[in-house]
Each structure stands twice: as structure tokens, then as C-alpha cells.
Structure 1
Amino acid sequence: MQLLRLAVALISLIGQLALIRLALGPSTTVGAAIGHGARRFPSALGAVVLLIVGLAILAVPLIIILSLGLGVDLEHLSGPPSGPAALMFGIIGLAALIISVRFTLVSPVASAENIGPLAIIKRSWRLTSGNYWRLLGFILLLIVATLILMMAAGVVGGLLARMFSPSIEPMSIGALILASFAGAAQGAFSILASVMLARVYAQAAGQSENIEEALR
């Protein structure tokens, strides 16, 4: 299952790059956009890996400091965090959100510009300079929209699932219906987010840059 999830995540990244290509223009076919996404996939994946490694390096000392300050025993954490542990993870999540704003445009840059992983990260950092608070508000709105959409899908899917089965058990028709609604909602949100990020990139890049030439 872990390998399957990894494969889906990698395919989703290619799909996101293809969607951004379609949203940015110039006009092209779906097949050509998917091919473009596949060609830009190694650089995009490299940028994502670099970001994950960098954030992990920053997170380790932060976790140690917070665990010592809040008295959290990291060796015996189990189940959903509560009390000081929940506060610690909340602070870490907030710090990750604050930092990640500067890398919001990694995917659009990876799709639109023929550059390597490190250059993608640097380019995203430059494009988001001066637009931090607007981008933070944009991300927060996306998070709220995601929560509302997933809750609505869960409610509707749950009601329909219970029409076929009083209790939703794994591998049942009810579970399949519920998972289908959740997947459809997640897919719709991913498309919307990719298109919006593409347009944000186009605006941030400015009219002085030839996006059409960069996409060739």
C-alpha cells in the first residue's frame, strides 16, 4: 500500500505539471501537456526532495528544543497527540506553513521554466518576494476551502454509503462510495489549486518575461 501511495503521488505530480502547462498556455493538446509534465517531472521531483530534506534539517533542532521546553517524551509518543505534544506539533505545523509560503510557486516554475531543481527553488523564492502576505492569505483560503469541500464530500458520501450499508466497513460498497466521493472532491480541488497557482505564477512573472518561449 505504501508503494502504491508513492506511485500515485508521483503520477499526481506529473498531472499537476500538465495542468499548469494547460493553464499557462499557449494552446496545446492534453497529450502534449502530459508529455511536457513527464519531461519536467525529474526537475520538479528534485526540487520537492530538496525542500523536504531542507525542512527536515530545520525541523529536527526545533523538535528537540520544543520537546525539552514543553516536557514532551518523544520516545513514548503514541496515538493522537494531546496536551504539550499537540502544542508542539501545532507550532511545528505553523512554522512549516510560514516557511512554505516562499515555495508556493515551485510547481508552476518547474512546469514553465526549463531549469534544474535548485534553480526552481531559488526562482520561487524570488517570485514570492514582496508578495508574502497575499500568498499566505491565498494558502489559508485554499486550506479552508479544502476542509469545507472534504467535509461536504464526507457528509454526502456518508449519507449515500449508509443507504447501501448501515455500517461502513473496509472493502464494502459503502466504503467504496465514501472513498469515491472523497477522491472526487480531492481531485476537483487539485485541479482548481493547480490552475490558480499557474495564474499566480503568470502574474508574478510579469509581462516582461516570455512564458511562451520558456515552455518550448
Structure 2
Amino acid sequence: MAKLSITTAWNETVAFIGREAQLILPIAFLLLALPGAALQLFMPTPAPGATPEFPPILLLLFPIAVATGMIGSIAITWLALRPGGSVGEALQRGLSRFLILFAASLLIGLAALAIFVPLILLLAGGTVLSGGTVPAAAAGPILLAMLIFLVVVVAFWVRLMLMTPVAAAENVGPIGIISRSWALTQGYFWKLLGFVLLLLLATLIVTFAISAVIGIVLFLAAGPPEPGSVSMIVMMIVSALIQSVLSAIFLTLIARIYAQLAGGDDKSAVFT
């Protein structure tokens, strides 16, 4: 069994980003953060009690955001596994593999729905299908089922967290991506779960602190961040920049963890 050192992965991540920030941060901003910010910009803000009306442009922006996000994630991961590679090669790898990664993600999503939806319908006594309200007696079991489902989702995500580096580095199909990630994380669940929770906590703290400071400055300089205001647009751009940095760090960390578990090193070629 391969050895896993989160400290080593972190040190490699810091070194890589410090050396290649001019390559990966633009990819993270343009392909990961900016499409998400565009979605947020066009997302409607309904009045209390009103049903939100989604503009048609969201039907176009959402698949674009999903596609560019996966392409960018694979490209950054590929660069983290192939130091010295070019952005063009990384983007080409992302374009050639993102549909495979999307298919793997879709399979997992469909499997989750196939389990969760019938369970909720069973607990709700069929009232959801008929448009009725959920019985008060079913509210508790449904909430418990949702909490259990959330725990299961987190557990499965930990085992499948290497799907992106597998898609970037190995020429396997959707099922192969899922099974390979599952095999590589075998025996490391608790260590990876602790790493994910710690990283999530640090991300929340950093994001909240930076957003709070910038939000206060914008509020004093340009007023409250209301929809369509300058403050809101600037805040969204700043949030996208923060997300770019955090995404680049996370993707590189996952890539370096994959490199350890797959037996790669800093000069490892794409595994075939």
C-alpha cells in the first residue's frame, strides 16, 4: 500500500503554486470562478413569498459553467501532475477528458437520486407526488433521512475525491474513473476525511474574513451591495478572485495526493 503524507502534498502544492501561479490562476479565474460569478449575477432575487422566475440565459450559462469548470479543473490538475507542461497542452487534455468526467459524475448523481428520491416518497406517504403537504409525522423521519443521506454523500465523496486527477492522468472511461478513485483511497478514508474537514474549515474562515473586510470597504465607498449595483459587481469579482486561488490550491492538493497514491512523482508523465 502506498504511503500518504498530507504534509508532503501541501509542501508540493505551495511550491507548485508559487512557481506556476501565472499559469494556473488565470485558468482558475476564467474557467472556474468567472462562469460561476456570471450565474450568480443573473440569478433572480424573488420577493418574499414569490416564486422565482429564472431568465432563459441561465439555461445557457449553467451547462457552460459546468463544462468550463471541468475543463479548467482537469487542466490545472494535469499541470500539477506534469510540472513544466504548457497551458495549451493542459487545456487540450481538459477538452478531451471533460465529457468522460461529466459522465462519471452523472452516473453517481443518478445513483444517488435513485436511492434518495424513493426513500423520501416512501417517508412522505406519496403526498409529494400528489402535490399535497408533507404530514407532520413524516417531517422528523424525512429530516433524519436527509441528514443520513448527507453523511453518506460526504463519505462517498471522500472515496471519490480523486476522480478529477484520474480523469486527467489516466485514459479510462467513466466507470474506470469511479473504480480507480475508489481503489486508490482504500484504507485512507479517515485520513482523507480529516484533511477535507480541516481544509473546509480553513477555507470558510479565510473566505469569510476576506469577504467581510472587502464588503465593509465597498459598503463605505459605494453603498450596499444591492442587485445590479457597482458594489455587488465588484464584490462578485473579488469573490471570483478568492475562489480562483482556493480552487487552484485544492485541485493541486488533490493532484499531489493522487500522485502519492498512484505512485507518481513531481516529474510523472500521464499514466496510461
Pick the TM interval, shorter chain.
0.7 to 0.9
Contact 1:157 1:177 in 2 (8 A): no
Is 1:188 equivalent to 2:245 in the alignment? yes
Q: Secondary structure at the match of 1:212?
A: coil
Percentage of matched positions with identical amino acids: 34
Structure 1: where are the runs of 5+ without partners?
none
Q: Are 1:108 and 2:165 an aligned pair? A: yes
With the length of structure 1 as denominator, give the TM-score of the two structures.
0.84
Say what the alpha-carbon RMSD is for the aligned residues.
2.7
Partner residue, 1:3: 60
Deviations 1:154-196 (A, max 9, x none): 2023112202333221010111122122211211111111000
Distance 1:96 1:114 in 2: 26
Q: 1:118 to 1:90 in 2, by over 3 A?
A: same
Residue 232 of structure 2 is aligned to residue 175 of structure 1: yes
Letter matched to residue 128 of structure 1: T
| Alignment match, 1:46 | 103
Question: Does the C-alpha gap of structure 1 residues 88 and 178 become closer, same or farther in structure 2, counting only changes over 3 Å?
Answer: farther
The reply to whether residue 154 of structure 1 matches residue 211 of structure 2 is yes
CA distance in 1, matches of 2:152, 2:123: 12
Q: Is the 8 A contact 2:169 2:270 kept in 1?
A: no
**Structure-1 separation of matches of 2:239 and 2:145:** 29
Residues 17 and 107, structure 1, Cα contact 8 Å, conserved in 2: yes
In the alignment, the residues of structure 1 paired with residue 224 and residue 270 of structure 2 have an alpha-carbon distance, to the nearest angstrom, of: 55
2:75 to 18, 26, 37: 18
Could you tell me the TM-score, scaled by structure 2's length? 0.68
Give structure 2 stretches of 5+ with no counterpart.
1-57
Mapping for residues 72-111 of structure 1, pairs under 5 Å: 84=140, 88-111=145-168
User: In the alignment, residue 147 of structure 2 is paired with which amino acid?
Assistant: G
Q: Which residue in 2 is equivalent to 1:144?
A: 201
Between 58-67 and 43-52, report the one with greater CA deviation. Answer: 58-67
User: What's 2:188 paired with?
Assistant: 131
Deviation of 1:88 (Å): 4.8
How many residues are aligned here?
Answer: 207
Q: CA deviation at 1:76?
A: 6.4
Greater RCO structure (CA 8 Å; 6+ sep): 2
Distance 1:205 1:131 in 2: 13
In structure 2, the CA distance between the partners of 1:86 and 1:164, relative to structure 1 (3 Å rule), is farther
CA distance in 1, matches of 2:69, 2:271: 23
Match of 1:166 among 208, 223, 240: 223
Measure, in 1, the Cα distance between the counterparts of 2:204 and 2:145: 22
Q: Which residue of 2 aligns with 1:33?
A: 90
